DNA sequence: TATGTTCGACAACATGGTTGTCGATATGGT
DNA sequence: ACCATATCGACAACCATGTTGTCGAACATA
């Protein structure tokens, strides 16, 4: 008969795991030329992708276009994106990552790979795969609307 | 030779797992007498425990006492805690969960147990245990300072 | 009793979210 | 060609949750 484990530990462990990874990411990012990148930057930049508009970004992040516009302003001030008028539609202002923005995304991907490798060394490939597979089954795809989610 | 899985999926999966559980929790809470409980309420109430003060709560949550005081005000407005002067120290105002607050915590624990059972049915006891054990090893204990963490 | 620390409160501000409104620009039906 | 409608970005006002900094009152102790 198996020990009854309390259910409340699971969410705390998942959150702690996420925090651990993101904290480690930003420690490494700081040492690789992005000392003032913040979790929100990476999320939003990921959602910007190759280029979008404020309204579209809002839809991707699950927030209003006004909120997206503020995020874009912050990202622009940080030098991660630039804005340019769309010649084919005078209403639109296209947002694209700068070279520095693309560098941030590339470094992040690289660091996340290293962190996964670190977990594999610590826990074994099987455990990590089991975790990934299990979470993939009980969740409905990766959601990008994290920044706003908690206080909702 | 194993397939190289990209590292960036792991944090997204962990976050998605956390969100899935907390979303399900609040769906259930809504049906059990707590329709307007929000994630923050549970966290803060958990940190309040049997009773504390604003300054102590701030230390537990890793925020300033001012932020803790605002949180307490919100919790009090929602009817989850009550404040009373400490007869032994005229500076202190003790915060305690109300009956409703204790009910929220009890229901939450109960629902989290049910959710874990649901995951065990879906994934198997082994997978869930593997996940719990693995996360327990790579993280340093449950942190209660979640609400503030993201925007930092 | 004098000094230092802790408590809670208040003010001012930053950030990131919301609604609501607005003028300018596309778009599609008549 | 024209007009109704939808969309885009901007602006204002507000809410929520943090932050610093300051303060008086109450405790603790040398």
The CATH number of residue A111's host domain is 1.10.10.10
Q: Which of residues 15-44 of A touch strand C (CB under 7 A)?
A: 38, 40
Whether the beta carbon of A93 falls within 7 A of nucleic chain D: the reply is yes
Q: CA–C1' distance B81–D29 (Å)? A: 34
Length of chain A: 152
Alpha carbon B113 to its chain's center = 14
Q: How far apart are CA B11 and CA B8, in angstroms?
A: 6
Give the bridge partners for A93, in sequence order.
A85
How many Å apart are CA A62 and CA A53, to the nearest integer? Answer: 14
Q: Which domain holds residue A78?
A: 21-137
pLDDT score for A146? 64
What pLDDT score does B36 carry?
A: 82
pLDDT above 90 as % of chain B:
73
pLDDT tens by residue, B26-53: 999 999 999 888 888 888 999 999 999 9
pLDDT digits (tens, 9 = 90+) for B65-88: 999 999 999 999 999 999 999 999
Nearest to A67 by CA among A55, A79, A78: A55
The answer to the question of residue A114 being in a domain is yes
pLDDT band, very low/low/confident/very high, at B146 (cuts 50, 70, 90):
low
Distance CA B28, CA A7 (A): 14
Kindly state whether residue A60 falls inside one of the protein's structural domains. yes
How many separate domains does chain B show?
1
The reply to whether A69 falls in a domain is yes
A13 within a domain of the structure (yes/no) = no
Interchain proximity A11–B2, CB inside 8 Å:
no
Position B87 scores a pLDDT of 96
Q: Report pLDDT for A136.
A: 95
> What's the confidence (pLDDT) of residue A39?
85
Question: Is position A45 within any domain?
Answer: yes
In this structure, what DSSP letter does residue B79 have? T
Q: Cβ-count burial of B51 within 10 angstroms (0-12 exposed, 13-18 middle, 19+ buried)? A: middle
For residue A37, what are the β-bridge partners? Answer: none
Least CB-CB distance to A6: which of B2, B113, B146?
Answer: B113
What integer pLDDT is reported at residue B140 of this predicted model?
Answer: 79
- Residue A2 resides in a domain: no
Mean pLDDT of B80-101: 96
Q: Which of A20, A4, A33, A50 is nearest to B149 (CA)?
A: A20
Q: Is the CB of B40 under 7 A from strand D?
A: yes
CA pseudo-torsion sign B81, B84, B87, B92: positive
Between residues A21 and B3, the one the model is more confident about: A21
pLDDT value at residue A145: 67
**B75: CB within 7 A of chain C nucleic strand:** no
User: Tens-of-pLDDT digits for all 152 residues of chain A?
Assistant: 556 789 999 999 999 999 899 989 999 998 999 988 888 888 899 999 999 999 999 999 999 999 999 999 999 999 999 999 999 999 999 999 999 999 999 999 999 999 999 999 999 999 999 999 999 999 986 667 665 666 66
Residue A44 lies in a domain: yes
The vertex-A18 CA angle with B3 and B44, nearest 5°, equals 160
Residue B147 lies in a domain: no
């Amino acid at each position: 008969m198996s020990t009854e484990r309390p259910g409340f530990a699971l969410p705390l462990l998942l959150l702690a795991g996420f925090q651990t990874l993101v904290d480690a990411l930003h420690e490494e990012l700081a040492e690789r030329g992005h000392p003032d990148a913040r979790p929100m930057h990476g999320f939003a930049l990921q959602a910007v992708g190759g280029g979008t508009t404020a309204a579209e970004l809002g839809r991707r992040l699950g927030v209003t276009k006004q909120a997206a516009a503020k995020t874009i302003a912050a990202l622009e001030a940080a030098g991660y994106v630039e804005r340019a008028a769309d010649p084919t539609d005078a209403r639109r202002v296209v947002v694209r990552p700068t070279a520095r923005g693309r560098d941030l995304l590339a470094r992040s991907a690289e660091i996340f790979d290293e962190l996964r490798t670190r977990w594999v060394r610590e826990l074994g490939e099987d455990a990590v795969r089991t975790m990934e597979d299990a979470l993939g089954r009980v969740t409905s795809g990766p959601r990008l609307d994290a920044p706003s989610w908690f206080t909702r």
